[in-house]
Structure 1
Amino acid sequence: MADFLGMMKQAAQLQSKMQAMQDELGNVEVEGISGGGLVTVRMTAKMDVKGVKIDPSLMKPEEHEVLEDLLVTAFGDARRKAEAAMQEKMQSLTGGLSLPPGLFGQ
């Protein structure tokens, strides 16, 4: 019984550490730049896209907002796929152990 209680305590500590890490990642922002600054993507370390900027010289000025919106949508789709791959990787790291959804803040 003591082993079980110890395991539960360790699991709670791990969950707490994982939640703290997830919270920290949500506050860190990075900026990707391409084309010498013509295209800029701003996102959190949790891969939440915060904004996209494209220099109007790359397209017709009246269409640039549509392109920006489409890029944000594409990045969101890529983020969801990356999260699914991360969950799959976590499952392989736990040896296929079936853990309740959200146990580690995902």
Structure 2
Amino acid sequence: MFDKLFQAQQKAEEIKARLTNISVSGEAEGGKVRVVATANKEIKEIIISDEMFQDGDKEQIEELLIVALNKALVQAENVSQTEMQAATQDMLGGLGNLFNKG
């Protein structure tokens, strides 16, 4: 039983490492504001087109940045949930076999 718990912990660490290497992004205003993050929800890059600065509307840039950030974080959450569900199914399958050995 403890082996299964250790394997589950190891699997969780593997998933976290894999999520660090998966990039997601969010865009606003047709890509004029773009955010790149990892599936672990770590922001890696923010790209704002020069055109946005020429318009000089600070509030608009801030609002679009929030939109892009939230889109990237939603994508990160979706990827993370998908990975965790797959791992959970694997673990539950293993636990089911453990309990059915009776």
Q: CA deviation at 1:92?
A: 2.9
Q: Residue type matched to 1:54 in 2?
A: I
- Which has the larger displacement, 39-48 or 64-73? 39-48
State TM-score, norm by structure 2: 0.50
Note if 1:61 corresponds to 2:61. no
Task: Name structure 2 gaps, 5 residues minimum.
Answer: 26-31, 97-102
Higher relative CO (Cα under 8 Å, sequence separation at least 6) belongs to: 2
In the alignment, what sits opposite 2:9?
Answer: 15
Aligned-partner Cα distance in 2 for 1:93–1:10:
11
Point out 4+ residue stretches in structure 1 off by more than 6 angstroms: none
Alignment length (residue pairs): 86
Q: CA deviation at 1:57?
A: 0.8
The change in CA–CA distance for 1:77 and 1:97 in structure 2 (over 3 A counts) is farther
Aligned-partner Cα distance in 1 for 2:75–2:51:
26
Q: Determine helix, strand or coil for the equivalent of 1:53.
A: strand
Aligned-partner Cα distance in 1 for 2:81–2:24:
23
Alignment of structure 1 residues 24-63 onto 2, 5 Å: 41-44=35-38, 46-58=40-52, 60-62=55-57, 63=60
Q: Residue type matched to 1:90 in 2?
A: A
Alignment of structure 1 residues 76-91 onto 2, 5 Å: 76-91=73-88
Identity of aligned residues (%): 19
Q: Residue type matched to 1:67 in 2?
A: L
Matching residue within 72, 75, 92 for 2:89: 92
Two-structure CA RMSD over aligned residues (Å): 3.9
State TM-score, norm by structure 1: 0.49
In the alignment, what sits opposite 2:29?
Answer: none
Aligned-partner Cα distance in 1 for 2:62–2:41:
21
Point out the structure with the larger helix share. 2
* Alpha carbons 1:31, 1:40 under 8 Å: kept: no
